[in-house]
Structure 1
Amino acid sequence: MKKLLSLCLCTSLSLSFALQADEKLMTASKKPIKNVIMIVGDGMGPAFTTAYRYYNDDPNTPEIEETVFDRHLVGLNSTYPAPISGYVTDSAAGATALATGIKSYNGAISVDVDKKPLKTVLQHAKTLGKKTGVVVTSQVNHATPASYITHNESRRNYDAIADSYIDNGINIDLLLGGGTKYFIREDRNLVEEFKEKGFQYVDNYEQLTSIKKEEPLLGLFAPVGLPWSLDDSNKHRLSEMTKIATEQLENKNGYFMLIEASQVDWAGHSNDIASAMAEMDDLAKTLIYLEQYVEQNPDTLVVLTADHSTGGLTLGSDGEYKWQPSVFKGMTQSISAIAQFIAEKEFTAEQLATMLTFALTDEQLSQLHSIKQDESEKITKPQLTRQLYKKLNQFVSAKSFTGWTTGGHTGIDVPVFAFGKGFEKFQNKTDNTDIAKIIFTIL
Structure 2
Amino acid sequence: MTRRHAWISAGLAGSTTALIAATAVPAAAVPAAPHGPKNVIVLIGDGMGYNQAAEASLYENGTSSKQVATDPATGAVTEVQGTPSQAHESFPVQVDMQTFASGGSYDPQQVWTDFDYVKNGATDSGAAGTAMATGVKTYNGGIGVDPAGNEIENISERAISMGKAAGVVSSVPFSHATPAAYAVHDESRNNYHAIADKELASELSVVMGAGHPYYDDDNQPLETPAYDYISSGSYEALAAGQTEWSFVEDGADFEALTAGDAPEKVFGVAQVGSTLQQGRAGASGQPYGDPLNEVPSLATMTAGALNVLDGDEDGFSLMVEGGAIDWAGHANDSARNIEETLAFNDAVDTVVDWVEENSSWKETLVVVTADHETGYLEGPGADPAWSTLDGASGAVPAGSWNSGGHTNMLVPVYAKGAGAKELDRRARMTDPVRGAYLDNTDLANLLLEDLWAEGPGASAGNGSPRGREMAGR
Is the pair's TM-score, using the shorter chain for normalization, greater than 0.5? yes
Q: CA deviation at 1:227?
A: 2.4
Q: CA deviation at 1:69?
A: 3.6
Tell me if the contact between 1:235 and 1:282 (Cα under 8 Å) persists in the aligned partners: no
Q: CA deviation at 1:224?
A: 2.8
1:430 aligns to what SS in structure 2? strand
Which shows bigger deviation, 193-202 or 261-270?
193-202
1:189 aligns to what SS in structure 2? helix
Tell me if the contact between 1:198 and 1:215 (Cα under 8 Å) persists in the aligned partners: no
* Residue of structure 2 equivalent to 1:176: 208
Q: What letter matches 1:431 in structure 2?
A: D
2:307 aligns to what SS in structure 1? helix
Match among 163, 172, 188 for residue 138 of structure 1: 172
Q: Does 1:442 align with 2:451?
A: yes
Q: What letter matches 2:408 in structure 1?
A: G
2:241 aligns to what SS in structure 1? helix
Deviations 1:189-230 (A, max 9, x none): 365288333321111221124455143111101233322294
Identical-pair percentage: 30
Match among 423, 429, 433 for residue 441 of structure 2: 433
1:196 aligns to what SS in structure 2? coil
TM-score for both structures, normalised by structure 1: 0.70
Q: CA deviation at 1:187?
A: 4.7
Task: Summarize the Cα distance change of 1:115–1:306 in structure 2 as closer, same or farther, 3 Å threshold.
Answer: same
Deviations 1:252-306 (A, max 9, x none): 1100001000011111100011111111111112222222222231111111111
* Residue of structure 2 equivalent to 1:224: 274
1:330-349 equivalences in 2 (<5 Å): none
* Residue of structure 2 equivalent to 1:37: 41
* Residue of structure 2 equivalent to 1:300: 364
* Residue of structure 1 equivalent to 2:373: 309
* Residue of structure 2 equivalent to 1:366: none
Q: What letter matches 1:307 in structure 2?
A: D
* Residue of structure 2 equivalent to 1:416: 413
Q: CA deviation at 1:188?
A: 4.1
1:149 aligns to what SS in structure 2? coil
Match among 270, 283, 304 for residue 331 of structure 2: 270
2: CA distance, partners of 1:316 / 1:56: 19
1:155 aligns to what SS in structure 2? coil
Task: Summarize the Cα distance change of 1:68–1:52 in structure 2 as closer, same or farther, 3 Å threshold.
Answer: farther
Tell me if the contact between 1:96 and 1:108 (Cα under 8 Å) persists in the aligned partners: yes
* Residue of structure 1 equivalent to 2:89: 70
* Residue of structure 1 equivalent to 2:217: none
Tell me if the contact between 1:57 and 1:65 (Cα under 8 Å) persists in the aligned partners: no
Q: CA deviation at 1:47?
A: 1.6
Q: Unpaired runs of 5+ in structure 1?
A: 1-28, 331-395
Task: Summarize the Cα distance change of 1:324–1:413 in structure 2 as closer, same or farther, 3 Å threshold.
Answer: closer
Q: CA deviation at 1:105?
A: 0.5
Q: Does 1:198 align with 2:198?
A: no
Task: Summarize the Cα distance change of 1:418–1:318 in structure 2 as closer, same or farther, 3 Å threshold.
Answer: closer
2:95 aligns to what SS in structure 1? strand
Deviations 1:299-347 (A, max 9, x none): 11111111110000002237997745559x47xxxxxxxxxxxxxxxxx
Q: Greater share of helix residues, 1 or 2?
A: 1
1:195 aligns to what SS in structure 2? coil
1:24-423 equivalences in 2 (<5 Å): 32-58=36-62, 64=83, 66-72=85-91, 74-83=94-103, 87-166=121-200, 169-181=201-213, 182=227, 185-189=231-235, 191-192=237-238, 195-211=241-257, 212-221=261-270, 222-228=272-278, 230=288, 231-233=291-293, 237-250=297-310, 251-296=312-357, 297-298=359-360, 299-317=363-381, 323=389, 325=391, 329=394, 400-423=397-420
Task: Summarize the Cα distance change of 1:406–1:209 in structure 2 as closer, same or farther, 3 Å threshold.
Answer: closer
**Equivalences, count:** 341
1:98 aligns to what SS in structure 2? helix
* Residue of structure 1 equivalent to 2:78: none
Q: CA deviation at 1:95?
A: 0.4
2:94 aligns to what SS in structure 1? strand
Q: Unpaired runs of 5+ in structure 2?
A: 1-32, 64-81, 106-119, 214-226, 281-287, 428-436, 453-473
2: CA distance, partners of 1:186 / 1:123: 27
Tell me if the contact between 1:184 and 1:190 (Cα under 8 Å) persists in the aligned partners: no
1:301 aligns to what SS in structure 2? strand
1: CA distance, partners of 2:275 / 2:403: 23
2:268 aligns to what SS in structure 1? strand
Tell me if the contact between 2:39 and 2:316 (Cα under 8 Å) persists in the aligned partners: yes
2: CA distance, partners of 1:58 / 1:84: 37
2: CA distance, partners of 1:408 / 1:321: 20
Q: What letter matches 1:122 in structure 2?
A: S
Task: Summarize the Cα distance change of 1:317–1:197 in structure 2 as closer, same or farther, 3 Å threshold.
Answer: same
2: CA distance, partners of 1:248 / 1:49: 29
Deviations 1:169-193 (A, max 9, x none): 3221111111223466445436528
Q: What letter matches 2:349 in structure 1?
A: I
2:178 aligns to what SS in structure 1? helix
2:308 aligns to what SS in structure 1? helix
Task: Summarize the Cα distance change of 1:277–1:153 in structure 2 as closer, same or farther, 3 Å threshold.
Answer: same
Task: Summarize the Cα distance change of 1:157–1:185 in structure 2 as closer, same or farther, 3 Å threshold.
Answer: closer
1: CA distance, partners of 2:97 / 2:35: 28
2: CA distance, partners of 1:108 / 1:322: 35
